[in-house]
Amino acid sequence: MHAVDSCPLCQHTSFAPFQTVDDQGHDIHYVICKNCGLVLQSPRMNESELDEFYASAYRVHQHATEDPIEKDLRMQQARAEYTLTLVRDDIKEVRRHMDIGSSSGAFLRAVEVQYQCIGIGIEPGDAYREYSRTRGNHIHPSHEKLNEANEERFDLISMMHVLEHLPDPITTLDQLRNDLLAPDGHLLIEVPNLFEHASFELAHLYAFSPQTLREVLRQAGYKILWLRTHGGFRSPILKLYITVLAVPLAKAKVPHKIYLPGAFGVGLRRRLGTIKRNFLTKHLPDWTWQSPS
């Protein structure tokens, strides 16, 4: 574990405590950058600890078993189907799709069926990667193995509930734009919404708001086509998720001026969203939450 020295969004070094939670016996500490309002975990696992964690321990931590479980598979299938309803009007054609953090391969298969395209995934978890392969998906265990395969560029790259797990999201997105995404391709991202999702857990290094997610993408060289907060397949009333569809900018066109969302009001909006979620869960649970089945 190590403390974060500077904000990856604005490079400032002044943080304030934001919230501490218990995640299965682990005290997880989140701080907020006083300058731009980015909420991040500190201290947190280093990169070697993260690699080991995702290879074999992440699913055990989440579901008490490394093997795929029926509830999680249903959730992933429901998310895949819902996500297609968000993007199919804006993405008319896909020839090559890469899904980073592809897990069971549900979204890979959904896109393949919708667009009759080639789908390739990256999944570090051993059990889910093998499960996905048994269903015919082409899955790499890491970016390094993908690079060794000399894959062609992709005109759709998706990262569904992945960005919040990455140590350096701006650098990762910039590398995808430079190395793997076609110039006319699309980037699709979904993350938990800091303001209404519980968000905080051992594996989540960041908790994005719509404002900080916009700035991450802008600094990484993307133009946002749309950004939506919604409850997906889980809730018709809670805005649990932030989904973004973006396109890459040419390197020379990436703006250098940094827009700072600011820290003012972030804590209050988080508290109000938590009160809303808890109140609706207690008093109107059948209306607030939907089963993936």
250-287 tens-digit pLDDT: 875 666 666 678 899 999 999 999 999 999 999 999 99
- Which pLDDT does position 257 carry in this prediction? 60
**For residues 55 and 43, which has the higher predicted lDDT (pLDDT)?**
43
Query: If pLDDT is split at 50, 70 and 90, which confidence band does 116 have?
Result: very high
Structure tokens at 53: 């964690």
Give the mean pLDDT of the chain.
92
The answer to whether residues 123 and 158 touch, using CB atoms and an 8 Å cutoff, is: no
Report the percentage of the chain scoring pLDDT > 70.
95
For the whole model, what pTM was predicted?
0.93
Structure tokens at 159: 């990262």
* In the predicted structure, residue 161 carries a pLDDT above the cut 90: yes
**Alpha-carbon distances of 217 from 13, 213, 220, 224, 255, rounded to whole Å:** 21, 6, 5, 8, 11
- Which pLDDT does position 253 carry in this prediction? 66
- Which pLDDT does position 26 carry in this prediction? 85
Q: Which amino acid is at 127?
A: A
Strand 118-122, strand 15-23: pairing:
unpaired
- Which pLDDT does position 255 carry in this prediction? 63
- Which pLDDT does position 126 carry in this prediction? 86
- Which pLDDT does position 277 carry in this prediction? 97
Structure tokens at 255: 């703006």
Q: In angstroms, rounded to a whole number, what is the distance separating the alpha carbons of residues 50 and 53? A: 5
Query: If pLDDT is split at 50, 70 and 90, which confidence band does 89 have?
Result: very high
**Alpha-carbon distances of 241 from 136, 200, 210, rounded to whole Å:** 29, 14, 10
- Which pLDDT does position 256 carry in this prediction? 61
What domains are there in the chain, each with its CATH number? 67-288 (3.40.50.150)
- Which pLDDT does position 258 carry in this prediction? 66
Express each pLDDT in 44-82 by its tens digit: 998 888 878 877 677 666 666 777 788 889 999 999 999
- Which pLDDT does position 52 carry in this prediction? 81
